[in-house]
Structure 1
Amino acid sequence: MVGFPLLLIPLAIYNIIVFLMPGVSFADPLLNLTLMSGAEWPLTLSDMLLALSILLLLFEVIKGARPGAKYLTDHLLSLIVFGGAAAEFLLWPRFGTSTFFLLTMLALVDFLSGIALRARRGLVPSTAAVSGGGARAPAAKPEPQFDPAPAPSVPAAASVAESVLLDRPEPKIVHPDVTPGGPSPQVPSPGLQPGNGPSPSPDGPPTPRL
């Protein structure tokens, strides 16, 4: 959608007054305003047009600052408005006034501000990668990712017990060397030597020996 150049409104009002109402003066006060200080402020038609132009210029800048606003056609229309106002100021005697000169300058500011805002939006993505002085800013190094250390494998209790049992040597039964017909092994306890009969009990009768 093409935006309408708002500064065309005060310029059109000025042209209407010049061509259709030649007896109207821009310098004659329309009304007098009494300020809080007590001073009288004569308000003229020229002052009203300039105040209206400043407010419309503010709205033009706000429109141009929005994302996606101010297409090439909008800039072309602003340039046409400024070119027409500058031609009238230079070529027509009725337009050679300070009021119309200021209106022309406001149209120029509108055109230049639209170009500056468009260029600013185009430079915003590149400034993130390029630092001041034209040197490219070093790319941020990615933070190293540390993998969690693997938990030590804890063998199951059954496997530990099984490995212990497998590693433990089996007990060996040591048989005393007994040769046939040889003497019986000696037992340290007295009276319990093999081959001797049971020792007589001190309290009972002696056991007969076979």
Structure 2
Amino acid sequence: MSGLDTVLLSIVGTPAGFALQHNWWLERVLHEGLRQVATLLFVALWIWALWPARSGSLPRRERVAVMVLSSLSLLAVNLIKNNSFTSCPWDWHMFGGVAEPVAHWRWGVADGGPGRCFPGGHASSAFGFIALCLPWLAPPHGVSRRMSPGFRWLGGVMAAGLLAGAVQTVRGAHPPSHTLWTLLICAGVSMVGWRLFLRWLTSQAPDAAAGTPASP
């Protein structure tokens, strides 16, 4: 809405395209490499969620809730992306493409390009893990935990997501607003979903005794 997307993209792009679009470090390491790492972490999240509870670990119900919300966050981003008519900056006419930029909130209005570029899918590989901080930052009623692990997870997720978004902006794949929308979608799904899960989390569960001890 502010026009900053175009201003920032014009710094790294030219009428001939984006010079760093196929830069080895950005494309192979920070794009494909980060995506592969995120996939491994997602598999590890499922294993962690279903692993038998042990003394001092999070209750299984909370781990399952985190896993479900992370999955829903990624699903929400991909569903919106696959139905979006918004094309990537490297497809815009001002950067050598064929698309006429159309504001992404004008849903259903085609821009003449291939579309399917809103919001930022790469950033969701990090922002999709926002739910992982909630057991510490917003524990179920009656549970007391130190908040520091949650802040560490949140800081790591935010840093990785912003890095992933910045990489795609420099390459011409997404304007910065797409990254911020990805953050908003993942955070919204995680927080609303966690709120809905709270009643189930506070009910008695077989592994309730496995929760982390209350801080003094």
TM-score normalised according to structure 2 size? 0.27
Q: Which has the higher helix share?
A: 2
Q: Which of the two has higher C-alpha Rg? A: 1
Q: Relative contact order (C-alpha < 8 Å, sep 6+): which is higher?
A: 2
The TM-score with structure 1 as length reference comes to 0.27
